[in-house]
């Protein structure tokens, strides 16, 4: 695993940290690779129950490494490869994403919930990474921005899709057209963030362990349903609900949920890969 990201797992909860604090966890090619590889590795872990995604040091992620912007200015058209992000916008084989998009979408499609603990800055690619999580907890003083317009760019790491779903079309356009800074309190008010907390990492870890105590089959099914909800018709969504509940009712973990509740004890669940 790259030293750009650290991972520790305890009782099914993965504590994932971007590990480039001297650069405010800015995105270079190595960080893109590490994000893609780490999400893929975690997706293969059937014992995983929840993920907390954060950044070491003062910031969550300040966006694309500043040197890459200088490289873009010096290199001319994008087919040149002097900006330090070679291959990031290349289409992924067998995927609907390019490499940069997969660095975010890998967390969205991870089968378990992902909670982003955000402090300092979440700018450009950094805010898009935060939006790839299911829940965002931000610290007071955090600044968030869809900053690409400053560099003559558009958000292309799944940000346009996520923004519309979270804040609505008009607000998504305003944030993208202006690139303005959004303070933590406003981020919660408009839906960019879920909660405000003085210690977002501690709250995220507590929430993750609470989620990890629930039936992993039910939690994964719920994430699948919510991820698909914006993409399908109402009828298709209802059909998906019926299919998921049909698989859950009477299953070992569903029965264990009920027994543990009435026995007033902690449930003992079977991991999805071992059911």
Residue 60 and residue 121 in contact, taking contact as beta carbons nearer than 8 Å: yes
Sign of CA dihedral 40, 43, 48, 54: positive
Confidence of residue 174 (pLDDT cuts 50, 70, 90): very high
Q: Cα 136–142–146 angle (5° rounding)?
A: 75
On whether both 136 and 250 belong to a single domain, the answer is no
Largest CA distance in the chain: 67
On whether both 22 and 92 belong to a single domain, the answer is yes
On whether both 120 and 149 belong to a single domain, the answer is yes
Non-local (6+) Cβ contacts of 161 within 8 A are none
Does 256 score more than 90 pLDDT? yes
Average pLDDT over residues 31-59: 97
On whether both 171 and 195 belong to a single domain, the answer is yes
Non-local (6+) Cβ contacts of 219 within 8 A are 49, 50, 112, 113, 211
Domain interval for residue 227: 215-274
Residue pLDDT, tens place only, 80-131: 444 445 566 666 677 899 999 999 999 999 999 999 999 999 999 999 999 9
- Going by C-alpha positions, the residue among 59, 53, 18 that lies closest to residue 142 is 59
On whether both 139 and 203 belong to a single domain, the answer is yes
Alpha-carbon dihedral 237, 240, 242, 244, rounded to 10 degrees: -140
Q: Please tell me the pTM assigned to this model.
A: 0.92
> 160 by DSSP, 3-state: which?
helix
CATH number at residue 239: 1.10.12.10
CATH number at residue 49: 3.90.226.10
């Amino acid at each position: 695993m790259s030293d750009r990201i650290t991972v520790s797992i305890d009782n099914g909860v993965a504590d994932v940290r971007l590990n480039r604090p001297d650069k405010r966890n800015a995105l270079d090619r190595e960080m893109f690779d590490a994000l893609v590889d780490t999400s893929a590795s975690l997706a293969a872990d059937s014992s995983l129950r929840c993920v907390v995604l954060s950044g070491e040091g003062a910031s969550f992620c300040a966006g694309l490494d500043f040197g890459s912007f200088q490289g873009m200015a010096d290199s001319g058209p994008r087919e040149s490869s002097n900006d330090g992000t070679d291959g990031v916008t290349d289409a992924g084989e067998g995927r609907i994403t390019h490499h940069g998009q997969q660095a975010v979408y890998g967390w969205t499609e991870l089968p378990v919930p992902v909670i982003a603990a955000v402090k300092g800055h979440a700018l450009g690619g950094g805010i898009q990474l935060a939006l790839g999580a299911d829940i965002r907890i931000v610290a007071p003083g955090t600044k968030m921005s869809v900053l690409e317009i400053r560099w003559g760019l558009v958000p292309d790491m799944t940000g346009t899709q996520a923004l519309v779903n979270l804040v609505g079309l008009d607000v998504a356009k305003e944030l993208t057209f202006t690139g303005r800074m959004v303070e933590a309190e406003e981020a919660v008010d408009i839906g960019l963030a879920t909660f405000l907390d003085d210690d977002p990492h501690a709250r995220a870890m507590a929430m993750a362990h609470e989620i990890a105590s629930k039936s992993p089959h039910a939690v994964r099914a719920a994430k699948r349903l919510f991820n698909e909800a914006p993409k399908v018709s109402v009828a298709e969504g209802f059909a998906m609900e019926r299919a998921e509940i049909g698989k859950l009712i009477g299953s070992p973990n569903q029965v264990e949920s009920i027994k543990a509740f009435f026995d007033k004890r902690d449930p003992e669940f079977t991991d999805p890969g071992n059911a």
